[in-house]
Amino acid sequence: MSEQEITLDQFAGDSSESKSEESTVSDVDYPNEWGVVNFQTLISDVRYGTDTKSNTENNGYPTLRIPNIVGGKITTEDLKYTPVDDKEFERLKLAEGDILLIRTNGNPNYVGQSAVFSGELEDAIFASYLIRIRVDRDEVNPVFVKEFLNCHFGRKEMAGWISTSAGNHNLGISSIEKFSTPLPSPDEQRKIAGVLHTVDQALETTEDVVSQAKRVKKGLIQEFYSEGYYDHTEWQEVDKQDAYVMTRADRVPAEWEIRQSDEIADIKTGHTPSTSVDEYWDGDISWVDIHDLTQLEKTVIETTDDTITEEGLENSGAKLLPEETLVLCRTGAIGETAILGKEMATDQDQVTFECDESVVLPRYLMYLFEFATPQLERLSAGSTHDKIQLHFFSDLEIPLPSLDEQQKIVDAIESVDDVVIANKEQLVGLKRLKKGLQQDLLSGDVRTAGKEIDIPDEVKNYEPE
C-alpha cells in the first residue's frame, strides 16, 4: 500500500508497519500462529447447481447465476427462476453464509470469483455454473473465506487448478478442495473480515451515490434540453425524426434559435501521424484518441496516453486545437465527449468544435450532444462500422437558448456532474484501499491481534453455530 492510503491503524488506532509481496499461498511467510490447511478440511458441504433451464416468468424458485455475482457481492438484478422438484430444491436451497463461486467462464478473470449469500432472496437456489461452498463455522468465517478467494493470494492459488476446454476456463470441486488456505484464529478471522467488510460498505454507499447522481443528471439534461431552464410559455415544434435535429423532444421554447452547427463553430477532424516514424511520437503535444475519451472520468481532458512531436503535427493532417475545444467521438463510441484542458491534437476518429462563444458555450454543446446521442447514432446508419461522416456535422441543427440560459443549464448539470466525478475518484481510492488491505491482512503482514476492531453484524452473523 502506498503511504497515502489509509491503513489498518485508522480502524484500530494503533501503528504498524505495512508491506506486501506478490506470492502464492505456499510462498507467503505467514505468522507462526496461523495454520495453512487444505481447503477440504474447512468444507461441510460443496456442490454444483441446477442445470434445469431457467426463465423470467417467475416460474419456479429464484435462481442465482453468474451475472448475480458482481465484485464480491450478490446482486438480485436480472433474476431468473427455475422449476425444480421438492427433493432438488432441498438439495440446492441457499442458506445465509453459503459461499457461491463462479466455476466456469470464457474469461478466466471471472472464474473463482465468490460472494457470500446473506439471505437476499427467500427460497433461492443456484445454477450449474456456480458452486456452493458451505464451510464449518467452528473452523472458519465464510466472509473471511470469501475475502481470501477474491484476493491476490487466493486468485493465484486457484490459477494453478483452472483447466481450459472449448474456450472455457473451468474450476471443479475436486480442485477447490485441494486449495491451500491460511487459517488465523477465529478472533483474527472475524477482525480481518470486519475490516474488509467495512471497506465494502463504504464502496457500496459510494456506488449508490454515483448511481443516484447519474440518474439526477440524466433527468436534468432531459428537462433542460426539452423545456429550458426558465419557465417558458411559448413553444416551437421541431422534427425529432430528422436525425440532423439535435433534440429528442417534440418542441423547444419559442425564444430559442435553431442554428446550423457550422454557423456557430469551426468544425474539424484530426489525423494520425505515421506510426513508422519514431520522430513523430513521444513529443510535447497531447494527442487524443478514442481510448482517451472512453477512459475519461471527467468532462475536461488534461492528459492523453500518446503524444506527438511538432514534426509529427506538421507531417500529418493533425491540427493543434485551442483550450476549451469540444471533442466528440464519431467512430465506435459515438457521443463520447470532452473539453480540452489545454492545446491538443486529435486523431481522425474525433470531430472537434471550436465554438463561437458569443453564440454557444462549449459545455452547453457537450451536454446537448449527450442528450442527443441517439440522433447522432442514427447518422451512422449504413456505415460498415459505426462511423459518422465528417460532412454530416456541418448540417446539424442546434437549439440555442440565450447565453445566460445556456450558462444556467451548464451550471446546474455541472453541479451534479461534480458529485459524480468526486465520488468516482473516491471509488478508485476505496478500491485501492481494499486491495492493499487484502494484501496486508490476508498475508499477516499487518496483524489484527490485540487491536480493538468493531465487527459488523454481517460478519458476527456467521459465528460458530
For the segment 181-214, what is each residue's pLDDT rounded down to a tens digit? 999 999 999 999 999 999 999 999 999 999 999 9
Sign for the CA dihedral angle at 101, 105, 111, 113 comes to: negative
Superfamily of domain 1-18+184-229+405-465: Bipartite methylase S protein (1.10.287.1120)
Per-residue pLDDT at 130: 97
Q: Amino acid identity, residue 44?
A: S
pLDDT tens per residue across span 99-153: 999 999 999 999 999 999 999 999 999 999 999 999 999 999 999 999 999 999 8
pLDDT digits (tens, 9 = 90+) for 389-441: 999 999 999 999 999 999 999 999 999 999 999 999 999 999 999 999 999 99
Query: Are the C-beta atoms of 338 and 302 separated by less than 8 Å?
Result: no
β-strand 168-170 against 397-400: which pairing, if any? unpaired
Lateral strand order in the sheet of 281-288: 306-308, 281-288, 345-346
pLDDT score of 263: 97
Which class would CATH give 35-183? alpha beta
CA 251 → CA 190, 223, 234, 372, distances in Å? Answer: 60, 12, 10, 14
Rounded CA gap, 345 and 347, in Å? Answer: 7
Within 13 A of 369's CA, how many CA atoms are on the CB side?
A: 26
DSSP tag of 456: P
At 50, list the grid cell.
Answer: 441446477
Structure confidence at residue 332 as a pLDDT band (50, 70, 90): confident
Q: Choose among 187, 123, 155, 160: nearest CA to 448.
A: 187
pLDDT tens digits, 229-260 = 999 999 999 998 999 999 999 999 999 999 99
Tell me whether the CATH fold assigned to 35-183 matches the one assigned to 232-400.
yes
- Per-residue pLDDT tens over the stretch 44-91: 999 999 999 999 999 999 999 999 999 999 999 999 999 999 999 999
User: For the residues 268-296, what does the mean pLDDT come to?
Assistant: 96
Cell numbers representing residue 410 in the block:
451548464
How would residue 384 be classed by pLDDT, with cut points 50, 70 and 90?
A: low
Q: What are phi and psi of 463, to 5 degrees?
A: -65, 165
Please say whether the beta carbons of 255 and 248 come within 8 A.
Answer: no
Closest by Cα among 159, 210, 206 to 180: 159
| Confidence grade of residue 383 (pLDDT, cut at 50, 70, 90) | low
Query: Which positions ≥6 away from 145 have C-beta within 8 Å?
Result: 42, 99, 114, 133, 135, 181
Provide the residue ranges of all domains of the chain, joining segments of one domain with +. 1-18+184-229+405-465, 35-183, 232-400
Q: Residue 313 pLDDT more than 90?
A: yes
CA dihedral 34, 35, 39, 41 (to 10 degrees): -120
| Residue 17: pLDDT band with limits 50, 70, 90 | very low
Q: Is 11 helix (H, G, I), strand (E, B) or coil?
A: helix
Residue 458 is predicted with a pLDDT of: 83
Task: Report the predicted TM-score, pTM, of the whole model to 2 decimal places.
Answer: 0.82
Q: How many residues are there in the chain?
A: 465
Q: What is the pLDDT of residue 24?
A: 56
User: Which one, of 38, 26, 84, lies nearest residue 443 by Cα?
Assistant: 26
- Helix, strand, coil share of the chain (percent; to 5): 35, 20, 40
Whether the CB-CB separation of 414 and 298 falls below 8 Å is answered with no
Amino acid type, 423: N
Enter the C-alpha cell of residue 250.
Answer: 417534440
- Convert 33-98 into a string of H (helix), E (strand) and C (coil): CCEEEEHHHHEEEEEECECCCCECCCCCEEEECHHHEECCEECCCCCEEECCCHHHHHHHCCCCCC
- CATH number given to 232-400: 3.90.220.20
- Please state, for a pLDDT cut of 90, what percent of the chain lies above it: 83
Report the alpha-carbon distance of residue 464 to residue 231 in Å, rounded: 63
